[in-house]
Structure 1
Amino acid sequence: MKFTLNKNKIKYSILVLTLFLFASCSDEITKPINDVYISIPDHHFETILIEQGIDSDGMVNQQILKTDAEEVRRLDLNLTRDFGEISDLTGIEGFVNLTLLSAARQQIEAVDLSFNTRLDTLLLQGNYLTSIDLSKNPNLILVDMLSNQLSSINGLSGATNLKKLNLSWNNLEEFSIHNASLEVLHISQNLLKSIDTNGAVNLKNILLTSNELVTVDFSFNTLLETMLISDNKIQNINLEQNSNLTHLYITSNSLTSLNVSNNQELVDLRVDRNPSLTCIKIHSGQEIPTVSKSDYQELNDICN
């Protein structure tokens, strides 16, 4: 009886030891694989990587070598349109040396770019993004997210080299940006009720057509050359500090008065379809080569 008990104990011990060793070996096998490969669950994404010679194993197997991803500096996923549309960019986190990412006209609803810290160019036009966090992308220079469903965008304040930002055709209701480096800002066709650009002191071009703005203040943006703000609800605007303006489009608003007498560089002025605006004040002798106005409007150096 004693011998049988010891024998059973020996069998049990061997079984436990075997299971322990197997588990340990499994961990050792799994760990190197995770260190070597990056998961690419979207087969359209992986197929494009194969087509461009980035995924070196040449097989659609939902993974790519980490070293393959780390070698890529510029990734344009729009070079070929024959492989279907990408809906999941999982795996992009492995492309840690990317400076350019283009994934326009896909079906992307969310993306994590927190590991792509070297990005300077981001092109995500025509997707289905509702929000995005760019707080880990301080090197951005150009961002184009035209035609998404964005209601929020976070982290732009850290992009101290940002020059061009396109957020047109989205769902933004308010927007604030104070990047001194910014030169071009496009946010047309949104739901904007307020915008604050006071800190963007080098802004030269702003496009805000087709929003719901009632008032705007660009007095801090003294370098503005092009101001396109037609199709809003703007009732008044002070352009005294914007002496560099060359193009002012402010049609289809609710203006009751407009003074452009201090805007001597104007070459194109469009003020038609402001029902309550009958007189646009100009400086005596000021000539504006192109003017679009309604029949009931006049340019005069004296406006009552």
Structure 2
Amino acid sequence: MKKQLFIYTILLLTVPLLYLGCEKDDDPLQFSFTVTITPVTGGTVNPSSGIYNDGKEILINAIPAEGYGFIKWSGDATGDANPLVLTISSNTRIIAEFAMMDSDGDGVGDTLDQCPNTPEGEMVDTSGCALSEVDSDGDGITDDLDLCPDTPANEEVDEEGCADSQKDTDGDSVTDDLDLCADTPPDTEVDEDGCADFERDTDGDGLTDDLDRCPESPAGFAIDAFGCPVGSLYTYIPDDAFEQILINQGYDYVLDDYVLTNAINAITELSLPSISGFTDNYIISNFTGIEAFTALEQLSIWNGDFMGDALDLSQNINLIELSIRCSFVDDLDLSQTNIEVLSIGGNLFFGPCENGMENLDLSGVTTLKILNIFHGKFDDLNTTLNSATSLEQVHFTSPQTDSGPLDYLDLSSNSNLTSVSVSSGFTTGPSIINLKNGANQQLVELILENNPWLPIPPGEISWEPCIEADDPVYIESIITSFYSVPQYTVTTDCGN
């Protein structure tokens, strides 16, 4: 009996323990579930985390934020199914990948893209727009075709997006909206209206301003070949410096571009400016009106700066002596004149001054007998001399080139010479003087001067010229000087 009671007691104590042990083994395993979102602003996931029993099947939704789209799952999940059915069997970490929506693939998301249909491959701005989609100035021409992207509002444009106010068709620096002469040739000087002299007829007399010596003639008057009223009492002088000099000399009174013709048509000698006014620095660039000085015999020009066509002396038929000092002149044409004496260069009284003579052709001046060059600078003096075959007397004082004193003086084409004078002047004279003109016996004198204008002892500046001659013995016999003869050599060949 006691044995049975013991067994019952053991059973009563053991059975609950067995029950408790079995109950603990029946609890399911649990695992963590977490979600990472990339980018963090791309959207949300539901559920985003939790603890789930082993074998639990959960439904996961990826919810894109505005402007984003869901792309795929990664981490412990794959694919792009949305929602995603996932069975939990371990600690699980998945990644939800979102991307900004960019319908046209231009790199700017649709929510920011103001041009959502940009053609493939075109570069865009921060608004997602390519130049082919933008018209910055609102002129109807997209920026990719618009050569003038800043056209003012309401201006009519051409197919390149440019208004007349933005174009300069002829390249004269006057825009087409202001240009009255839109086809001016390149490199032509124009006025504020974009017109060159040959395109403009200021007084409407039928003669363009480049040919009109009186471009402001009153209407209704008959004009002569120069565009001036027939029988005019006045001569048109548009250069203020020219007219001011005439005022200074008492031939005019008011600076108004006109001078009484009767006040100037009897003048025989004219200096522009006069010697007394040399330091006034009047720079003349246009000599229109000089034709009215019909009695003029001697003309001196100081401080000029002009192209040759600005000085037309063809009407000054009595002019026999012309002097151009301290001036810059290009393409001077004297072929229609009767000039006998031509002097070019600096100012011997006040010292040398800046001057230059380019492209001087004297072949048409058949009356020219005397040529004086005083420190004159030429681009090619020898070519000028070769063209002046009528010369009888020449005087050179330190002739210059662009690079310095002239080294070779060529008189071989001047067969009418009777007198030649060469001086070293303020610098030095030519190293070689070519007198092989085939007519040495016509020469009466060859004057060689060593620094006659410098107040220093002779020989301070060395000048030892070599003279080439057809007849060296004869040439040496006529060499003379008023001051100091330099050391020289006379030969048939100086080896130049």
Q: Give the TM interval when normalised to the shorter protein.
A: 0.5 to 0.7
* Residue matched to 1:200: 390
Contact 1:210 1:232 in 2 (8 A): no
Contact 1:219 1:238 in 2 (8 A): no
* Residue matched to 1:221: 416
Contact 1:239 1:262 in 2 (8 A): no
| 1:153 Cα deviation after fit | 1.5
CA–CA separation in structure 2 for the residues paired with 1:267 and 1:222: 16
Determine helix, strand or coil for the equivalent of 2:439: coil
Correspondence 1:82-121 to 2 at 5 A: 105-112=281-288, 113-121=290-298
Correspondence 1:167-246 to 2 at 5 A: 167-168=344-345, 169-173=355-359, 175-177=361-363, 179-180=366-367, 182-186=369-373, 188-192=376-380, 193-194=382-383, 195-196=385-386, 199-201=389-391, 203-207=392-396, 209-211=399-401, 212=406, 213=408, 215-218=410-413, 220-228=415-423, 231-232=429-430, 234=432, 236-238=434-436, 241-242=439-440, 243-246=443-446
Gap change, CA 1:39 and 1:228, over 3 Å in 2: same
CA–CA separation in structure 2 for the residues paired with 1:48 and 1:290: 40
Letter in 2 for 1:200: S
Determine helix, strand or coil for the equivalent of 2:474: coil
* Residue matched to 1:21: none
Gap change, CA 1:244 and 1:197, over 3 Å in 2: farther
CA–CA separation in structure 2 for the residues paired with 1:256 and 1:265: 12
Letter in 1 for 2:486: S
* Residue matched to 2:274: 78
Letter in 2 for 1:260: P
Correspondence 1:140 to 2:319: yes
Correspondence 1:247 to 2:447: yes
CA–CA separation in structure 2 for the residues paired with 1:62 and 1:291: 51
| 1:36 Cα deviation after fit | 4.8
Letter in 2 for 1:216: L
Letter in 2 for 1:146: R
CA RMSD, Structure 1 to Structure 2 (Å): 4.6
* Residue matched to 1:24: none
| 1:68 Cα deviation after fit | 4.4
CA–CA separation in structure 2 for the residues paired with 1:157 and 1:184: 17
Determine helix, strand or coil for the equivalent of 2:285: coil
CA–CA separation in structure 2 for the residues paired with 1:225 and 1:39: 41
CA–CA separation in structure 2 for the residues paired with 1:222 and 1:62: 44
Length-normalised TM-score, structure 1: 0.54
Contact 2:415 2:437 in 1 (8 A): no
Letter in 1 for 2:474: N
* Residue matched to 1:129: 306
Letter in 2 for 1:183: I
Question: 481, 486, 490: which one pairs with 1:292?
Answer: 486
Gap change, CA 1:127 and 1:190, over 3 Å in 2: same
Length-normalised TM-score, structure 2: 0.36
CA–CA separation in structure 1 for the residues paired with 2:490 and 2:417: 24
CA–CA separation in structure 2 for the residues paired with 1:44 and 1:174: 24
CA–CA separation in structure 2 for the residues paired with 1:267 and 1:70: 43
| Deviations 1:56-90, CA, capped at 9 Å, x for gaps | xx5555544455455656555537649x95xxxxx
* Residue matched to 1:88: none
CA–CA separation in structure 2 for the residues paired with 1:142 and 1:252: 31
Letter in 2 for 1:135: S
| Deviations 1:144-166, CA, capped at 9 Å, x for gaps | 0122111222134531xx33201
CA–CA separation in structure 1 for the residues paired with 2:237 and 2:337: 29
Contact 1:135 1:154 in 2 (8 A): no
| Deviations 1:10-36, CA, capped at 9 Å, x for gaps | xxxxxxxxxxxxxxxxxxx9658x755
CA–CA separation in structure 1 for the residues paired with 2:484 and 2:246: 50
Correspondence 1:147-162 to 2 at 5 A: 147-156=326-335, 158-159=337-338, 162=339
| 1:221 Cα deviation after fit | 2.3
CA–CA separation in structure 1 for the residues paired with 2:235 and 2:436: 54
CA–CA separation in structure 1 for the residues paired with 2:387 and 2:344: 14
| 1:198 Cα deviation after fit | 5.6
Correspondence 1:268 to 2:481: yes
| 1:184 Cα deviation after fit | 3.6
In structure 1, list runs of 5 or more residues that go unmatched: 1-28, 86-104, 270-288
CA–CA separation in structure 1 for the residues paired with 2:367 and 2:463: 30
| Deviations 1:90-133, CA, capped at 9 Å, x for gaps | xxxxxxxxxxxxxxx52111213344343211110222123233
Q: How many residues align?
A: 227
| 1:176 Cα deviation after fit | 3.2
Gap change, CA 1:135 and 1:255, over 3 Å in 2: same
Letter in 2 for 1:220: S
| 1:220 Cα deviation after fit | 0.8
